[in-house]
Structure 1
Amino acid sequence: MNFGYARVSAKDQNLDTQLRELTAAGADRIFQEKISGASTSRPELDKMLAMLRSGDSVTVNRLSRLGRNTAHIIQLIADFSRQGIRFVALDLGIDTDTPAGRMVLTVFAALAEFERESNGERRQAGIELAKAQGKHMGRKPGVDEEKLKKVKTSLAAGLSVHQIVEVTGISESTVKRYKRQLTSSTETL
């Protein structure tokens, strides 16, 4: 089957041009929705993805209609390739059944890998710079005196960590940390 996917971002936009182009490209069934590309929940796209089988095709009139962002588009196209699904973007002439289309797919995959690695390098450089400038990394040090008092009172009443979490709404990790602090402070006295 040749599945078409058409999307516009706003309710007042029109799908007619996309539908006409997808029909002319031989789409057997067209999934269409009016929803922002940034939305993580796109029901019609999800329905189409669930129906795809090896040998099927996915056609879009514009590559940007497919995903939330470049990384999402590249991931979808890579998933199609792994599943044996042909992908066609009419605006760019991408057709993964052709050598040129497969080459474009390879370039996209390389760009995605480059972007992932670059993000990691930038993140690490930022962390190292912050540390060099003496900035604290991670959770802010210190104790919430009100929470500490609640934990202390609860422990004195004989409650378990789990019971303290349920009664106070304080996270389990915080309760355990305060319990350790309270235990170590009483041991040092």
Structure 2
Amino acid sequence: MELGYARSSVDDPELKEQLEVLRSYKCGYVFQDMNVEKVSKKEVQNLINNLNKGDSIVVCRFDRITNSIREVINLSVELEKREVNFVSIEENVDTRKDNSFYHVMRNLYKFEQDIKSEKVKIGLKKSRARGRNGGRPKVINNKVAKALEMYDSREYTIEEIVKETNVSQATLYRRIKEREEKKSDG
């Protein structure tokens, strides 16, 4: 089924031109967004929720359904995963006939993810160079030693040990497990 998406613009505030074009593409239903300034995420999500495998989304232009290149890329990746076709009339994109658009968008998506990953790695490396390792601060060893001592005495509950020593329950269990593993190895 062909599902259209139309969003009003300064040139077409009542959607007349878009609706006419989308009807010529035999759209069974046209989702309409009357917001001139930006795409309604709610209405786009409503459209996506109504898609079935093999359906097609038809728009007059990319900027009717997205606000940025990033959104075009993310939308196309989502549609390809759902096995849904995408038609943008003005840009002459029709994945029903040629899937190369999805291939290009998938590569741009991967490119963007690789750039983000590289930036994170660079940031972490710079932080480590400044002496910051990230993550939760390490618990002072004497606190952990006291917590383990209390645990070994069998006089305190875990909750009491955590409250008394300010060592988290997760840290306490992790250290108990590490200690037991050392005993079994050695």
Normalised-by-shorter TM-score class: 0.5 to 0.7
Paired residue secondary structure (2:31): strand
Q: 1:175 to 1:82 in 2, by over 3 A?
A: same
Unaligned runs of 5+ in 2: 139-157, 160-165, 173-186
Unaligned runs of 5+ in 1: 142-159, 162-173, 181-189
* TM-score of the pair, normalised by structure 1: 0.61
Measured in 2, the distance between the counterparts of 1:127 and 1:136 equals 8
Residue equivalent to 2:59: 60
Residue of 111, 115, 121 corresponding to 2:112 = 115
How many aligned residue pairs are there?
Answer: 150
- Any conservation in 2 of the 1:7–1:15 contact (CA below 8 Å)? no
- How far does residue 136 in structure 1 lie from its aligned partner after superposition? 6.4
Matching of residue 96 in structure 1 with residue 104 in structure 2: no
Q: 1:175 to 1:114 in 2, by over 3 A?
A: same
What amino acid maps onto 2:88 in structure 1? A
Matching of residue 76 in structure 1 with residue 75 in structure 2: yes
- Any conservation in 2 of the 1:4–1:27 contact (CA below 8 Å)? yes
Paired residue secondary structure (1:125): helix
Measured in 1, the distance between the counterparts of 2:133 and 2:8 equals 44
If you compute each CA radius of gyration, which structure gives the higher value, 1 or 2? 2
Measured in 1, the distance between the counterparts of 2:83 and 2:116 equals 30
Paired residue secondary structure (2:134): coil
* TM-score of the pair, normalised by structure 2: 0.61
Cα RMSD after superposing both structures: 3.8
Between 81-90 and 71-80, report the one with greater CA deviation: 71-80
